Amino acid sequence: MTRFPGEDYINRVEIFFHFDPLLALVTFISSRMVHIFFLPAVLTIVVTFVLGRVACGWVCPMGSIQQFFSFLFKKTKLHRPKKLEDNHTVWKYYLLVFILVSSLFTLDLVGIFDPFSFLYRSFVVSVMPALSYSVSSFIGAIYGLNLLSIGDILVQFFENLDINAIFLQGLLIGMIFVAIILFNLSRERFWCRYICPLGAFLGVISRWNVLKLKINTEKCIDCNLCSLQCQMQADPYPNEKWKSPECDYCFTCSAICPTNAISFPGKMAPESIESIDLSRRKVVLISLLGILAIPFFRISPARSRASEKLIRPPGALPEAKFLQKCVKCGECMKVCPTNALQPAMAEAGPEGLWTPMLVMEIGYCEYYCSLCTQVCPTGAIQELTIPQKNNLKIGTAWVNKDRCIPWKFGDPCIVCEEHCPVSPKAIKFITANVEQPDGSIKSAQAPVMDMATCTGCGICENKCPVVDAPAIYVTSVGETRSDRNQVLLDIIQSGEDPY
Amino acid sequence: MKRRVFLKDIAIGSLLLNIHPKVYAQGTGSPDVALIQGESPSLITKEAITTLGGMQRFISKGDKVIIKPNIGWDRTPEQAACTNPEVVKTLVELCFDAGAKEVKVMDNPCNPARRTYVRSGIQKAAKSAGAEVPLPNDHHLKKIPIHGDSLKEWEIYSDFVETDKIINVPIAKTHSLSRLTLGMKNWLGAVGGNRNQLHQNLDLAMIDLAAFFKPVLTVMDGYRILLRNGPQGGRLSDVKLHKTVAAGVDYVALDAVGASFFDIKPEELRFLQIAKEKGHGEIDLEKLIIEKRTI
């Protein structure tokens, strides 16, 4: 799990994503760029090519979770499989076709369905915050019982996990995750069998692998137990019907075979088994759908006109390029030390669902922090040094004089200016003479913005004592990454870097 | 007891109680404020405490001590937004030398505590001297009566209450509302709640908080002071190398001395004026016994 013990450096926590050939492929296709950091994915491809989908059965964390709950549901007799007559395992191949075709036209949907993205996002946005919430109530109860030292130990332990506890779509993303788990009630490894596009991709390249199931026909008593128990619906019996692209090499069949008739001998001369039973007509149809989907995804104004609320993390590529690369994995949201990065809902259009944006009411962009730029697995957020980061704007702050304490009431408050991290400060003061209800005049120093030095970090909005709708707020306009989302003709960049 | 003896005793007793504490202090020969200049932050801190009569004057054997530096911002020591780590470390060592059982160093920062604790260098320095450096734990927040003129009650970290002795170690910086942030303002880092609202009546709030916490010792870090863009600065050009540490018991006097680092007269600062009127301490630099030395 991603940790950041207070320093502005983080290990290569995103490396796991780089073993994912599907993320690599779709990112390459949709962004028209090849990245060397996806090199580890080659290893996965080679292993799968030679040994089949062993990674699905033995490495994939999503697979492990599916396996665990399938096991649990079976043990508790909650698992109620219906008769297996279907051939729904092909769904995932159609999904793969859809994702690949749409990525050809720069629509990057892989992040929604890729198992690593799905799992990491679900944990970051939902599972861990829920855990943190329940633990926090539990710890509260411990303190309530006056068990102070136990409480202190627990607090320290959970502080070390660095859980960001507040997320806008925690419930929705969590419900999807729970639903995927509950599907295991009807089919073991439901996700791996029917949905996983990465599994489908690995299935396609594993068709010629050398690890082939072999049933010793002399021993076999045709009991069909292996096919009934196969968690991936790979149909080990009869031998010639076995679907090697479905097999994740769990070896359950050989373990349960009453006569030990099943083995997986390595064969140097791989034989081709036609076992991905796709209908050509459907593949064409799905491809057409993949193409047709694109205009529908692009009807929204997100690409042409930026949403004021869509404040991307520093280092984010220009919006169109960003959307081609972001895989919605949630790494950046995990490392954000102030919990500011949140999954977008509609702010970035349908394509931008669950992409990261800063919500200043929850957190803000810490001045000397560049963690989110360090962890992005696809380069949608470019890695930045601190001086680079502090030289760019992610948005611009605005003072709402109707709500600001000095502007409205003539009372002193300098909280936004005090927190402004740039030097010289982007918030300056002028004197406000405010007429009071009784006609008298009160004077206070009141904040005004200096557009040239404001980076849009949002700490002013976050700390504003007008808590419900802060009297100073950040919008995306002026962000360095965009040519269009600008307000002033000429903004002088501060040359000297304070770092 | 005869009535006459009783009355006589009362008369003598009240006379004694009326004498300013300074009279007793003078008996030990220590000044109100030790103002030490020098190259090494730790040496001048040590010298300041020695001048006041040594740490054992403030810390007894077996005491639980909490030291409150300013760790408010995610800034390095060179940027002078947080207390000098060496000053904090020296105080921890002196406390242990005086027999303290336990020394805690804690603050509730404006930026995320984890980062400020690390970048300020204070966590590492204080830990190396054997102190506990806990992050602010919100389960420790308690609404506590302050009995102040502006603050009746506020959420306070119980760490600062459930302790034997408190030492305040502020850094001297500019501030756009109180003009300077010195020792009394430092107490805003010991409270939780919606503390940003305190700024609407900041001068009174900090006076109330300072009177509530009442540190046994205040050590003003003036090694580097922040002249502009306070309270967090940013550029090194905002910082002046002042190479001074001041220490004393009267926290109001310490803030008055801190103001002199910036060539500001104590009477110009509203919060000092009010604190003096309330009788919390002395701000007239002429009346204070200040032992100034360069080492």
pLDDT confidence of residue A268? 65
pLDDT confidence of residue A123? 95
Residues of A in contact with B112 (CB under 8 A): 337-338, 366
CA–CA gap between residue A387 and residue A157 (Å, rounded)? 33
The one-letter amino acid at A460: C
Shared-domain flag, residues B239 and B187: yes
Residue that is written with structure tokens 């060397």 in the block: A36
Shared-domain flag, residues B205 and B75: yes
Taking Cα atoms as reference points, which of B82, B88, B80, B121 lies closest to residue B104?
B88
Residue that is written with structure tokens 């090694």 in the block: B223
Shared-domain flag, residues B62 and B169: yes
Per-residue CA distances from B99 to B52, B53, B57, B65, B102 (Å): 17, 15, 11, 10, 9
B150 lies in which domain range? 31-294
Residues of A in contact with B139 (CB under 8 A): 139-140, 143, 151, 155
Find the closest chain B residue to A445 by CA distance: B177
Residues A320 and A333: beta-carbon distance below 8 Å: no
A18: distance to nearest CA of chain B, Å?
29
pLDDT confidence of residue A239? 83
Shared-domain flag, residues B102 and B2: no
DSSP characters over A224-247: -HHHHH-TT----SSGGG--TTT-
Shared-domain flag, residues B23 and B36: no
CA–CA gap between residue B126 and residue B105 (Å, rounded)? 7
Which burial class, exposed, middle or buried, applies to A383 when counting CB atoms under 10 A from its CB (0-12, 13-18, 19+)? middle
Residues 6 or more apart in contact with residue B13 via CB below 8 angstroms: none
Domains in chain A: ranges and CATH: 306-388 (3.30.70), 391-475 (no CATH)
pLDDT confidence of residue A445? 94
Taking Cα atoms as reference points, which of B192, B126, B106 lies closest to residue B154?
B192
Shared-domain flag, residues B88 and B172: yes
CA–CA gap between residue A334 and residue A311 (Å, rounded)? 17
Choose the mutation target among B104, B142, B194, B200 for the interface with A, i.e. most A CBs under 10 Å.
Answer: B200
3-class DSSP state of A32: coil
Per residue in A153-174, pLDDT (tens digit) is: 988 888 888 889 999 999 999 9
- Local mean pLDDT, 10-residue blocks, chain B (295 residues): 72 62 55 95 96 94 96 95 97 96 96 94 96 94 92 94 96 94 95 91 94 95 93 92 96 96 95 94 93 93
Q: How many CB atoms lie within 10 A of CB A37?
A: 15
B81: distance to nearest CA of chain A, Å?
11
Per residue in B86-129, pLDDT (tens digit) is: 999 999 999 999 999 999 999 999 999 999 999 999 999 999 99
Contact A465 B197 (CB under 8 A): yes
Tokens representing residue B25 in the block = 């202090």
DSSP B154: E
pLDDT confidence of residue A160? 80
A100: distance to nearest CA of chain B, Å?
42
pLDDT confidence of residue A497? 47
CA–CA gap between residue B277 and residue B274 (Å, rounded)? 5
Q: How many CB atoms lie within 10 A of CB B79?
A: 24
Per residue in A304-354, pLDDT (tens digit) is: 778 899 999 999 999 989 999 999 999 999 999 999 999 999 899 899 999
B52: distance to nearest CA of chain A, Å?
34
pLDDT confidence of residue A179? 96
Choose the mutation target among B71, B111, B120, B226 for the interface with A, i.e. most A CBs under 10 Å.
Answer: B111
Residues of B in contact with A494 (CB under 8 A): none
pLDDT confidence of residue A499? 44
Shared-domain flag, residues B144 and B211: yes
Which burial class, exposed, middle or buried, applies to B49 when counting CB atoms under 10 A from its CB (0-12, 13-18, 19+)? buried
The CATH number given to whatever domain includes residue B233 is 3.40.50.11440
**To 5 degrees, how large is the angle CA A217–CA A218–CA A221?**
75
Taking Cα atoms as reference points, which of A217, A227, A275 lies closest to residue A253?
A227
> Cβ of B110 under 8 Å from any chain A Cβ?
yes
Find the closest chain B residue to A423 by CA distance: B234
Burial A241-261 (b: 16+ CB within 10 A, else e): ebbbbbbbbbebbbeebeeeb
> Cβ of A8 under 8 Å from any chain B Cβ?
yes
pLDDT confidence of residue A1? 45
Shared-domain flag, residues B148 and B284: yes
Residues A356 and A332: beta-carbon distance below 8 Å: yes
pTM of the model: 0.89
- What ipTM was assigned to the predicted interfaces of this complex? 0.86
Shared-domain flag, residues B256 and B168: yes
Residue that is written with structure tokens 């560049």 in the block: A370
Tokens representing residue B259 in the block = 């103001």
Residues of A in contact with B123 (CB under 8 A): 6
3-class DSSP state of A46: helix
Q: What is the number of structural domains in chain B?
A: 2
Burial B232-249 (b: 16+ CB within 10 A, else e): bbbbeebbbebbbbbbbb
pLDDT confidence of residue A82? 67
Residues B86 and B125: beta-carbon distance below 8 Å: yes
DSSP characters over A113-170: H-HHHHHHHHIIIIIHHHHHHHHHHHHHHHHHTT-HHHHHHHHHHHHTTT-----TTH
Shared-domain flag, residues B13 and B97: no
pLDDT tens, position by position, for chain A (499 residues)?
445 566 777 777 888 899 999 999 999 999 888 888 999 999 999 999 888 899 999 999 999 999 999 999 988 888 877 666 677 888 999 999 999 999 998 888 999 999 999 999 999 999 999 999 999 899 999 998 988 889 999 888 888 888 899 999 999 999 999 999 999 998 889 999 999 999 999 999 887 788 888 888 889 998 888 888 888 888 888 888 888 889 999 899 999 999 989 988 877 655 656 667 778 888 899 999 989 888 888 888 877 778 899 999 999 999 989 999 999 999 999 999 999 999 999 899 899 999 999 999 999 999 999 999 999 999 999 999 999 999 999 999 999 999 999 999 999 999 999 999 998 999 999 999 999 999 999 999 999 999 889 999 999 999 999 999 999 999 999 999 988 888 877 655 544 544 4
Q: How many CB atoms lie within 10 A of CB A274?
A: 7
Strand partners, B102: B64
Shared-domain flag, residues B287 and B212: yes
Q: How many CB atoms lie within 10 A of CB A161?
A: 13
Taking Cα atoms as reference points, which of B227, B293, B212, B292 lies closest to residue B263?
B227
Residues A246 and A204: beta-carbon distance below 8 Å: no
pLDDT confidence of residue A271? 60
> Cβ of A494 under 8 Å from any chain B Cβ?
no
pLDDT confidence of residue A338? 95
Residue that is written with structure tokens 């380069």 in the block: A379
Contact A423 B228 (CB under 8 A): yes
How many beta-carbon pairs under 8 angstroms link A with B?
88
Shared-domain flag, residues B157 and B99: yes
Residue that is written with structure tokens 């005793």 in the block: B9
**To 5 degrees, how large is the angle CA A318–CA A323–CA A324?**
100
DSSP characters over A325-378: H-----HHHHH-TTS-EEE-SSTTTGGGTT-EEE-TTT----TT--HHHHH-SS
Tokens representing residue A488 in the block = 């002033």
Residues 6 or more apart in contact with residue A272 via CB below 8 angstroms: A207, A208
CA–CA gap between residue B292 and residue B33 (Å, rounded)? 8
pLDDT confidence of residue A498? 44
Choose the mutation target among A137, A413, A428, A443 for the interface with B, i.e. most B CBs under 10 Å.
Answer: A413
